[in-house]
Amino acid sequence: EKVLPSTTKDQIESMIQSGLSIFGEHGALAFKCGATRRFKTPNNERVRLQSTDPYADSVAALETAAKAFFERKVARLDGDLFERTCHAKLEVQSDTMDAESYCKPLCQAFRSAAQKASNDMVGADAVGIDELKDQIRVKEECVRMAQVSLEACASDWKSLEVFKSELTELSAIIDSRFADVRSAMRALDDATDQLDDLEGDLEEQEKALEEAITLLDDAIGEQADAKTVLAGAKDKETGLKEEIGKATSELGRLTAELKDAEHASNVVAKLKITVEAVMELMDGF
C-alpha cells in the first residue's frame, strides 16, 4: 500500500468552508449552524435563508467537497485535526453543549462525512500516516500481549511439568496402596475362612459340651443314688458290726464255758445257734 500524508489544516479549512457556504455572507454562526433560518442584522434588517434545511444542505455540501478532494488521492483525513479546526471556526466548546445551536453536532457530521469520503476514495489504494501509526501501535500491542501470553504459557508449562511429576508419584503411590489393599483383602478372606472353621469347631465343641453336661447331670444323679445306697450299706455295716461284736462277746463267753465240761453239751448247742445267727447276718449284708 502507498503511504499518504495526512490532511493539513488549510486543506481541512477549505473543505469546512465549502460546507458552510450554504449560510451565505452572514456565516453559520448567525443562523446557529442551521438551528434557525432567520437572522436580523444590527440594522434590523431581516435575512432569511433560501434552504428549508440548512443543516442537512451544509453537510451535503461538505460531502461533495470532500469527495472531490480525496478523489485526487493526495492525502488522507486527519480526523482529530479536522474536529479541532471545525470547533475553532464555529466557536464550539468541546466540554459543553448549546441546546440553541447546532454547531457542535454540525462539526461531528462534517467529520463523519469527510472520513467516509477519505475511506471511500483513498482507503483502497493507500493508508494514512496516522492510520499506519495506529496499525503499528496495534501490532506492537499484539506482540506485547503475545509475549505476556507466551510467558504465562511458559509458567503454566512449568506448573504442568511439576504437576505431571507429582501425578506420576501419586500414581505410583496409588498403585502401591492398591496392591496393599488387595493383599489386605486376601488376608481378610483367609481370616474369614479360618473364622468359619473356628465357628464350625466351636459348634462341634458346643455339642460335645452339651453332651458332657447331659452326662454330668446323669452322673450326678447316679452319684446321688450311689451315695444313698452307700449310706444304707454303711448303716447295715454298722449294725452288722454291732451284731458281730455281740456274737464275738457271746463266743468268748461260750468259749469260756466250754472249759467247763459239765456244761459242754449245752455250750455246743448255744454255740451252734450263735454261729447260725451270725451267718444269717452275713448273708443279709
Question: Could you write out the DSSP letters of every residue in 117-131?
Answer: HHHHHHTTTEEEHHH
Higher-scoring residue by pLDDT: 228, 132: 228
Of 251, 280, 282, 283, the closest CA to residue 268 belongs to 251
- pLDDT exceeding 70 applies to what percent of the chain? 74
C-alpha cell at 270: 448255744
C-alpha cell at 62: 461538505
- pLDDT exceeding 90 applies to what percent of the chain? 34
- The residue type found at 245 is G
Q: Which range is least confidently modeled, 25-29, 33-37, 259-263?
A: 259-263
Predicted confidence at residue 228, as pLDDT, reads 79
Q: How far apart are CA 145 and CA 134, in angstroms?
A: 16
Predicted confidence at residue 245, as pLDDT, reads 80
Higher-scoring residue by pLDDT: 125, 175: 175
Q: Which range is least confidently modeled, 4-18, 154-168, 204-218, 254-268?
A: 254-268
Higher-scoring residue by pLDDT: 173, 11: 11
Q: Whole-model pTM above 0.75?
A: no
- pLDDT tens for each residue of 109-123: 999 999 999 999 886
Of 218, 208, 280, the closest CA to residue 244 belongs to 280
Mean predicted lDDT score pLDDT of the chain: 80
Predicted confidence at residue 88, as pLDDT, reads 95
Predicted confidence at residue 99, as pLDDT, reads 81
**Cβ-proximal residues to 87 (8 Å cutoff; 6+ apart), any chain:** 93, 94, 104, 107
Predicted confidence at residue 38, as pLDDT, reads 92
Predicted confidence at residue 176, as pLDDT, reads 79
Q: Across residues 249-277, what is the average pLDDT?
A: 69
Q: Supply the DSSP string of 133-170, one letter for each residue.
A: HHHHHHHHHHHHHHHHHHHHHHHHHHHHHHHHHHHHHH
Q: Across residues 252-278, what is the average pLDDT?
A: 69
What are the strands, taking DSSP E only, across the chain? 2-4, 38-40, 46-48, 126-128
